[in-house]
Every structure is written in structure tokens, then in C-alpha cells.
A and B are shown apart, each in its own frame.
Chain A
């Protein structure tokens, strides 16, 4: 058992900010917090089961047709999620709309199947999937929070009972930065966030190097 596989997807190899995979759904669904969370949950479920099954089947799948086999496995799980959501949680199904079937073409899932599950054991693959899924969900929620607060002046969560699940932010709600809700705003924000994460990685790298140098000198 290797807990490193579980934690690496959250920060060190975050699929959105570091590996830069699955950009289409990241830019498209992050207009509201609830969409980001639901999309993340859907991806986590599909990623977990596709990684487990691909890891189990890796010795039986011939190399020349591995990609079609992965796509069949992934598409089956996405269709199951879609049918189950539609039948039992129609509110979430409606909120995700077209992005639910689009999980099939989410690069993170095929990427993890090819790069990890097809070369590692079942338990490690499951941990990798959970870590990557949580990392993706956190990244999406973070982007959605910034975009929704600035672009609409609200935070949309799950409606509970009589509460409609919308937190309204004064001032910003009246004068929102409308560009943040559009695709161009998402790209702009993604650029700034990527720059911020690069700066953080470079800084910690520098610190590590100087600590190594000091250690060597001593």
C-alpha cells in the first residue's frame, strides 16, 4: 500500500494546475460552484472504477487495441453514471447537462488509464484515481468559487429544504465583473492561476536548492 499515490494528485501532480489535463470541462463547468463539485464527483466515480477495471484487465488486453478497450470501459461507466443520475438524482443530472456524457472524453481518465492503471496493481491504481479525482474536484471548485464570486456575486451550493442554496455577496452582486462568467474570463483566470502555481513551485525549488547548498557547505 502506498499513500504517496493517494496524495500526489492533490498538490504535487494536480491534474488541472500541474499536468494541465481536462481543460475543456474545467473551463466550461466552472461558472457555478455546485456544477464544479458535481462534475468532480462524477469524474472521481468514473476514474476510480475505470482505473480498477483496467488494472485488473491489463494482462489480458493486447497492446495494439488497448486504447479502444479503455474507451469501451470508460464509456460504459459514464453511461451507467448518466442513467443512474437521470433516474435517481434528476436535479444533479439536469445541473450537469451535456458535461456528464463528456466525461468519456475527459483526458484525465484516459490519461490515468494509459499512464498509471495499465502498469500498476489494483490497489495503487485505486489510490491514484481517488487522489487525482479529489485533486480535480478541488481545482474545479477553487476556479468556480473565484469565477462565480467575481462574475455573478453569488455562491451556488446544493439547495437544502427551504433554502435555495445561493449565497449572495453584496456589492459584487450588483456590479459583477461579467467577463468572468464567459469563456474568455475562465482562460484569463486559468493563466493567472498557472502563473501563481509556477511561481510557488519555482520558489520552493530555489529554497530546496539553497538548503542543499548550505548543508553541503556545513
Chain B
């Protein structure tokens, strides 16, 4: 019985020390992490704004992919929309920001956060990945949502990371449809 208590106390003490140390490290690093996360989203919004002025934010709660949007303005006129998108890849949730003109044609897009496999799905963070979507979204040239809507070179480049491609494509296509509906 005594050894039973001793075992429990030792295990409990080790866990307690670990918890205190982790709490202290978290206290120091958490503000830095938060600052970094905010700067990533702000930087991404600025990057995909396509040179337009970013207007007010509107939250969206009734769409599977769209979380919020901003108006994109030039000389006071709405020229397009900047959307915050959420979707799923191979490694879980991914978030994107994408700008569209008022007809729903994609101007620019960026993958903001993901947990994709390094060397495979992570390649979607590369700005060149979005080139296959940019300029598409109209009736004649919809956003590609399957590999056979891509050129053979683009199709080969996404092989091995189809889940990432599917997630991003669906979100961007849903964003384009949403913009067409907002008008």
C-alpha cells in the first residue's frame, strides 16, 4: 500500500512540475504567437487586395466555405470582394484569402494556414500554385474543381496531393459563386 502511494505521488509530482513549466513557457510565448498569427492574416489580406482599397469587414455564418468578406474599392466604387475561406485538406483545416472582381473572376489568392504534408500538399503555399486558378471563375472559364479541368502540366504537378487540390479548388469555386450571389 505504501509503494502504491509513493508511485502515485511521484507521478503526480512530475506531472505538476511539467504543467507549471509549460504554463510559464506559454505565458511568455503566447503574446508573440498571437502577434505573429495576426500579422500573417493582415499581410495576406494586403497581398491579395490586387491594389484596391480594403473596405469594411462583414462576417458570414451561413456558408460552408466563406467565413467573412471585405469590399474592395477604387474611388469609392466597389470593384470586387476579398473573401476569407475555410476548407479541409489532407492534414485538416486550411484557411485561404482570395480576391474576386464583381463578376466572380479570381484576381489573387493565398493559403494562410494549413497542416499539409511538407513537400507534397505544403507546395500549395507557393504563390505559383494559385496561377492555375487566377483569371478563372467566369461562366466560360469556371474555376477548376477536378484534375481533368487542368492542363496536363498542372495536373501532374498536383499528383500526390489531390486532397489539398480538391480542398482549395472547392473553396475558391464556392467563393466565386458567393461573389456572384452578393451582387
Contact = CB atoms under 8 A, between A and B. Distances in A.
Interface band, chain A? 35 or more
Given A76-B22, A80-B25, A97 B119 contact: no
A79 interface: yes
B60 interface: no
A168 to B, nearest CB: 14
B2 to A, nearest CB: 11
Secondary structure dominating the interface of A: helix
Contact of A181 (B14, B32, B120): B120
Interface residues of B, number: 30
Nearest to B29: A87
Contacts of A192: none
Contacts of B36: 86-87, 90
Given A97-B118, A97-B122, A182 B91 contact: no
Contacts of A87: 28-30, 32-33, 36
A83 B29 contact: yes
Interface string B19-51: 001100110111011001000000000000000
A32 B118 contact: yes
Contacts of A152: 119
B120 A31 contact: yes
A200 interface: no
Contact of A98 (B3, B115, B156, B160): B115
Interface stretch (A9-17, A63-71, A201-209): A63-71
A182 B118 contact: no
B56 interface: no
Nearest to B17: A76
A80 B27 CA distance: 12
A23 interface: no
B117 interface: yes
Given A76-B22, A97-B117, A68 B91 contact: no
Contacts of A68: 11
B131 to A, nearest CB: 17
Given A65-B11, A69-B14, A182 B160 contact: yes
A80 B91 contact: no
A169 to B, nearest CB: 16
A73 B115 contact: no
B111 to A, nearest CB: 11
The 8 closest A-B pairs by CB, nearest first: A31-B119, A87-B32, A87-B29, A76-B18, A83-B29, A62-B7, A35-B118, A32-B119
20 contacts: A28-B117, A31-B119, A35-B119, A60-B10, A61-B10, A62-B7, A68-B11, A72-B15, A75-B18, A80-B21, A80-B22, A87-B29, A94-B125, A97-B115, A98-B115, A152-B119, A178-B160, A181-B120, A181-B160, A182-B160
Interface of A: 28-29, 31-32, 35, 57, 60-62, 64-65, 68-69, 72-73, 75-76, 79-80, 83-84, 86-88, 90, 94-99, 148, 152, 178, 181-182
Interface of B: 3, 6-7, 10-11, 14-15, 18, 21-22, 25-26, 28-30, 32-33, 36, 91, 115-120, 122, 125, 156, 159-160
